[in-house]
């Protein structure tokens, strides 16, 4: 019997399950609900929080899993931006997380993986007037979840601005005062818009708005989610920032790698600018240490 497996089934939506028997690992993906990973069991530990009611509701913002953020992360001023003299409306975190993705293929050879695709369409072009294609491969191997990303500008004569990211919800057991293994030196506190020194430990309890870690040179962060379970995320250099956020009274924290800070499409200072016909590749890896 193969160490790797991929199967699909219906549970409100069509679900894909990737398994690796040797590490007791399982990844649950729902392409039609924003291409989201809603379950991430690594080495026998379920890492993700999921509010299933928000997942099952066809138009609700999903609280849980790992939503894909594209072409923006965070919010825009008045939920709008200007480009080439025109004003466009854009919902928080962009269009990818609310779009249905297509399944390109699956594999059980040397890993369990699924490749999904989102192309620009009539709905996305209303708020983001660029022809694009996103190809994401979720791969489970050696007890780690790899998210291999391809961002493609399908235009023939137009540069495409964007800044992508992820919004993983990690289930926690022992409170929200955690020590983060990162070389970030400061954070921007959106609760009072003040930049403050970061000394490694941070408590999200009681905060309404997020904070953004600044000054990190190493593209990785690790933190405990239980007394004997630790998450480590590694990501490519294009992800310059990590956002920390939670909701009071809910047993999760969000630790979010972003390519730029919230509101960047208004400022237009750190945009990723993808030339016509070009593509950008990136990777995010989530691992579990115990």
Q: What is the pLDDT of residues 224-268, one digit of tens each?
A: 999 999 999 999 999 999 999 999 999 999 999 999 999 999 999
Which helix (H) or strand (E) element contains residue 20?
strand 13-20
**pLDDT tens digit sequence for 102-128:** 999 999 999 999 999 999 999 999 999
Burial class (CB in 10 A: 0-12, 13-18, 19+), 13: middle
| pLDDT beyond 80 at 1 | no
Q: Give the DSSP H/E element, type plus range, for residue 264.
A: helix 264-267
pLDDT at residue 290 in the model: 83
Say what percent of the chain tops pLDDT 90. Answer: 98
CB contact set of 179 (below 8 Å; sequence gap of 6+): 200, 201, 223, 224
Quick: pLDDT tens for 51-90.
999 999 999 999 999 999 999 999 999 999 999 999 999 9
Q: Which residue from 16, 12, 102 is spatially nearest to 60, judged by alpha carbons?
A: 12
> Mean pLDDT, to the nearest integer, of 139-157?
97
Top-level CATH class of 4-172+225-289?
A: mainly beta
- pLDDT at res. 26: 98
Q: Tokens 């965070």 — which residue?
A: 74
Contacts of 208 (CB under 8 A, 6+ apart): 191, 248
Region at 199 (left for phi over 0; alpha for psi -120 to 50; beta for the rest): alpha
């Amino acid at each position: 019997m193969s160490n790797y497996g991929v199967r699909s089934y219906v549970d409100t939506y069509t679900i894909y399950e990737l398994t690796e028997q040797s590490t007791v690992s399982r990844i649950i993906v729902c392409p039609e609900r924003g291409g989201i990973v809603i379950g991430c069991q690594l080495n026998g530990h379920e890492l993700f929080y999921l509010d299933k009611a928000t997942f099952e509701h066809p138009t609700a913002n999903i609280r849980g899993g790992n939503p894909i953020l594209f072409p923006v992360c965070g919010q825009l001023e008045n939920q709008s931006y200007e480009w080439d003299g025109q004003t466009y409306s854009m919902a928080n975190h962009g269009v990818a997380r609310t779009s249905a993705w297509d399944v390109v293929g699956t594999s059980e050879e040397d890993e369990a993986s699924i490749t999904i695709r989102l192309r620009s369409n009539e709905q996305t072009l209303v708020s983001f007037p660029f022809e694009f294609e996103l190809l994401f491969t979720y791969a489970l191997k050696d007890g780690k979840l790899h998210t291999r990303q391809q961002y493609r500008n399908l235009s023939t004569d137009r540069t495409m601005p964007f800044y992508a990211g992820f919004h993983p919800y990690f289930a926690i057991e022992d409170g929200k005062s955690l020590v983060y293994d990162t070389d970030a030196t400061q954070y921007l506190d959106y609760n009072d818009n003040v930049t403050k020194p970061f000394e490694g430990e941070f408590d999200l309890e009681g905060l309404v708005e997020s904070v953004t870690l600044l000054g990190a040179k190493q593209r990785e962060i690790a933190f405990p989610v239980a007394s004997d379970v630790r998450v480590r995320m590694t990501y490519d250099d294009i992800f310059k920032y990590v956002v920390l956020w939670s909701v009071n009274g809910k047993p999760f924290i969000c630790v979010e790698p972003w390519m730029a800070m919230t509101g960047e499409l208004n400022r237009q200072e750190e945009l990723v600018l993808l030339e016509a016909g070009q593509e950008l590749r990136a990777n995010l890896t989530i691992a579990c240490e115990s």
